[in-house]
Amino acid sequence: MTPAFTRVQAVLLRHIYVLRSSPPRLIEIIYWPTIQMVLWGFISSFFANKGPALGGSMGVAAFGTLLGAVLLWDMLFRTQLGVTLSYLVEVWARNLGHLFVSPLRPWEWWLSLMIFSILRALVGMLPAAALAIPFYGFSIFDLGLPMLFFFFNIMFMGWWLGFLIMALLLKYGQGAETMAWALTFFLAPFCAVYYPIASLPQWLQPFSNALPAAHVFEGLRALVHQHTYEAIHMWWAFGLNCIYMCVSLFVLTIAFNGARKAGTLLQSGE
């Protein structure tokens, strides 16, 4: 085992220990995706059954799209939160001093936060996805291999968003903590989660097209409605994610070096 791998394992172990020591934290990870799934499931079910009485009808496909979108959106948010909260846990524990004077390289730390965010997101998402099967007869797993690409791209976006927020936290301290919860939701209206990009005003569509998540949700809609996997959406999402990941790591490196210069690396208070 290489020293780098052992150090990545150490950070993972540290966060797994935190989760294990705190049942409320573990429950919270499962709680929100499940509540989202139950809530949106019943709303979708209501519109699917009572749609005609309300002047329209919502087909089974739209029902699937909505539930799939809920799960994917939550996956994006949980992945971003997984990265950001892992950093905040170190700030709250006043442990950054020990981490930064250890041989842990920044890239090893970032990699371990990405891996941990996958674990965190899966722990939260899998029970919700499993619940949707008996409750609503909807299985996201039936969407097959393309679903893996959707998940990968969604998590990819969660990672770079998480790193950008980490950069803000390094720059502005805990005062920027609300960003951990707010920034991803700011992007939600433009990510075309519950409606196609075409339903946005014309002038907003380029902005939406520049977001990887919007392509993932377009791809999901194509898969569920037309049963076609439009790979072009995934390639767009992947390409954009690569660009944004480079940008966010660059910004994070600048913020890290800036904090080292300003002497604020270990003083991440308010």
Residues 6+ apart with CB under 8 A from 125: 33, 71, 74, 75, 78
**178 touches another protein (CB under 8 A):** no
The CA distance from 149 to 158, in Å, is: 14
Residues 6+ apart with CB under 8 A from 35: none
Nearest to 159 by CA among 259, 241, 74: 241
Q: Which of 9, 139, 209, 253 touches another protein by CB under 8 A?
A: 9
Per CB under 8 A, which of residues 44..103 are in contact with another protein?
A: 93-95, 97-103
CB of 4 to another protein, least distance (A): 9
CB nearer to another protein: give 23 or 134: 23
CB of 164 to another protein, least distance (A): 23
Cα torsion through 237, 145, 138, 25, rounded to 10: -70
CB nearer to another protein: give 113 or 191: 113
Q: Which residue has the tokens 């002497």?
A: 263
CB of 143 to another protein, least distance (A): 38
* Triad 214, 216, 217: Cα angle to 5°: 65
Q: Which of 17, 42, 195, 235 touches another protein by CB under 8 A?
A: 17
CB of 163 to another protein, least distance (A): 20
Per CB under 8 A, which of residues 211..270 are in contact with another protein?
A: 257, 260-263, 265-266
CB of 120 to another protein, least distance (A): 16
- Local structure of residue 128 (DSSP, 8 states): H
Per CB under 8 A, which of residues 102..131 are in contact with another protein?
A: 102-105
Determine the size of the site formed for another protein (CB under 8 A).
Answer: 31
Q: Which of 6, 199, 226, 228 touches another protein by CB under 8 A?
A: 6
Report the number of secondary-structure helices (H) and strands (E) in the chain: 10, 0
Within 10 Å of residue 203's Cβ, how many Cβ atoms? 7
CB nearer to another protein: give 25 or 225: 25
Q: Taking a C-beta distance cutoff of 8 angstroms, is the pair 255, 167 a contact? A: yes
SS3 content of the chain, % helix, strand, coil (to 5): 85, 0, 15
CB nearer to another protein: give 227 or 261: 261
**35 touches another protein (CB under 8 A):** no
Q: Which residue has the tokens 């949700």?
A: 217
CB nearer to another protein: give 50 or 105: 105
Q: Which residue has the tokens 């960003």?
A: 179
CB of 85 to another protein, least distance (A): 14
**22 touches another protein (CB under 8 A):** yes
Query: What is each CA distance from 119 to 2, 60, 85, 86, 143, in whole angstroms?
Result: 22, 31, 13, 12, 21
Q: Site residues (CB under 8 A) for another protein?
A: 3, 6-7, 9-11, 13-14, 17-18, 21-22, 93-95, 97-105, 257, 260-263, 265-266
